[in-house]
Amino acid sequence: MQIVNEPEAVSRLLNDRRYVVPAVRGCDEIGLEWLRGEVARFSSGIRHRRRRAAVSLILRGLDPAALREGARLADGAQETLAVRVVASALGLAVDPDDVAVVARHYQPHTPVSEDADAAVQRLVLACGGRGDERTVALIGVLVQACEATAVLIGRCRDAVRDGARGAAEDVVAEVLRSDPPVRTTRRVSRDGTTLLLDLASADLPFGAGAHSCPGREHAVAIAAGAVERAREAR
């Protein structure tokens, strides 16, 4: 694997469609491999554009201000705070722990587990019971909202405890600059070389190009709400 940490090179490769996300196997039977094969996150080309459009449509129905307020009022485990806020806004009665299990095994380089397969199956049922593109997009939104946003929330809360000043958005922006939760991403060249791109070195915490995070505004809003909650609790 080749590591790329020169900022201009990272940005250039993220914006070059010749460098694609690692391929996934996919599977007809609903489970983790099926989900990986159907989500926008691990797709390329026309399929990626169509699947990303489905995700964007869902995100357009979520008001960042409402998510922020939901996070400000939310209790419970940090790991699933973002999932609970987003699921509530979407009107979905999902088990946040199922989302967390899937998130831990989501990346193609992590092993598949029976627990993750079962969690995917339960999430499909909770999202309407059909393994269609909208169901996949809904699960993808929840999973993408899980781990990285939980880490971001945790680091923002740590910053508040350490005396961070300024507006909640400023605290979030500084954490994203200095200690982003997602530090790397992978791309594959046409000759099959896997590249590990250092997003942190390029100051691109939400990526760039065709696969940039479509939920950036929503994640920042949730983290800002968590900052406000942490300050109120002091």
DSSP for residue 76: S
What is the edge-to-edge ordering of all strands in the sheet holding 184-188?
Answer: 2-4, 194-198, 184-188
Q: Are 227 and 171 in contact (CB under 8 A)?
A: yes
pLDDT category at 233 given cuts 50, 70, 90 is: confident
pLDDT in tens, 121-168: 999 999 999 999 999 999 999 999 898 999 999 999 999 999 999 999
State what percent of residues in the chain have pLDDT above 70. 100
State what percent of residues in the chain have pLDDT above 90. 90
CATH architecture of 2-233: Orthogonal Bundle (1.10)
pLDDT category at 207 given cuts 50, 70, 90 is: very high
pLDDT in tens, 71-127: 999 988 888 999 999 999 999 999 999 999 999 999 988 899 999 999 999 999 999
**Token representation of residue 183:** 């530090």
Burial class (CB in 10 A: 0-12, 13-18, 19+), 205: buried
In this prediction, residue 199 carries a pLDDT of 97
User: Domain-by-domain residue ranges, the chain?
Assistant: 2-233
